[in-house]
Amino acid sequence: MTAASETVLQSFVLLRLGERRFALRASQVAELVAPSRIFRFPHKSLALEGVILRRGRMIAVCDISEQLTGTRLDTRRFNLLATRKYGPQLDWIAIPVSGECELITVEMMESSANDSPHVDGWLSHGGEVIEVLRLSALTPGPAEPLLPAPLHDFAEARS
């Protein structure tokens, strides 16, 4: 078996937040929709702006741009609807993005212990090195346990 045959290609959605590009595993992305009215009501989850209505479902909106780039998004072109794990459950969350999104299939380099908790891995694409985002570290809710890569894979296979 050659090294090349061991590479695992995965699909990712590239998204733009301001001047920077990030990636999410395509399996986590449900839909890309035009920005719609955000319904706001009193709450104490500071990272959330409110909810949007999508096909009768109310989805929490979380601008993760400030955490990643230091500034909030001034222009929103789409809401990227992604799934986020909450223990054994999945729920959708809407992530505002500022530019076009792109689906790519590449090999991901696993994150290391030195990387920030929000980095699930790294992609090399178009001359850029792009962070694959771990939404559980960027959005409110319980964080997924960070395990060394082999154990992480094992945990994923069991879930």
Partner 1 sequence: MNFPSSVRSHPQRTEQIILFRISGQTFAISSASVQEVRSVDNIAGMARDLPESHLRKVRHSIRRGDRTLYVVNAAIHFGLQPQPASLVFFLRRTRTALLIDGIEKMTTMTRLQALSLAFQGEERNWYRGLTTLDQAVIPVVNPEGFLSLEELTLLEAAQFSADAHLASSEIPGAHVQ
Q: Would you count residue 84 as binding partner 1 (CB under 8 A)? A: yes
* Count of helix runs (H) and strand runs (E) in the chain: 2, 11
Min dist. Cβ of residue 135 to partner 1 (A) = 10
Q: Would you count residue 139 as binding partner 1 (CB under 8 A)? A: yes
| DSSP H or E run through 19 | none
| Window 6-45: contact mask with partner 1 (x via CB under 8 A) | ---------------------------------x-xxxxx
Give all strands of the β-sheet with 20-25 in edge-to-edge order: 102-107, 9-17, 20-25, 128-133, 119-125, 109-110
If you count them, how many residues does the chain have? 159
Nearer CB in complex with partner 1: 121/141? 141
Out of 48, 95, 123, 132, point to the residue binding partner 1 (CB under 8 A).
48
Residue 134 has a CB neighbour count (10 Å cut-off) of: 22
Concatenated DSSP letters of 80-121? EEEEEEETTEEEEEEEEESS--EEEEEEPEEP-TTS-TTEEE
Q: Would you count residue 145 as binding partner 1 (CB under 8 A)? A: no
| Window 90-119: contact mask with partner 1 (x via CB under 8 A) | xxxx--------------------------
Residues in contact with partner 1 by the rule CB under 8 A:
39, 41-45, 48, 50-51, 53, 56-60, 62, 84-86, 88-93, 139-141, 159
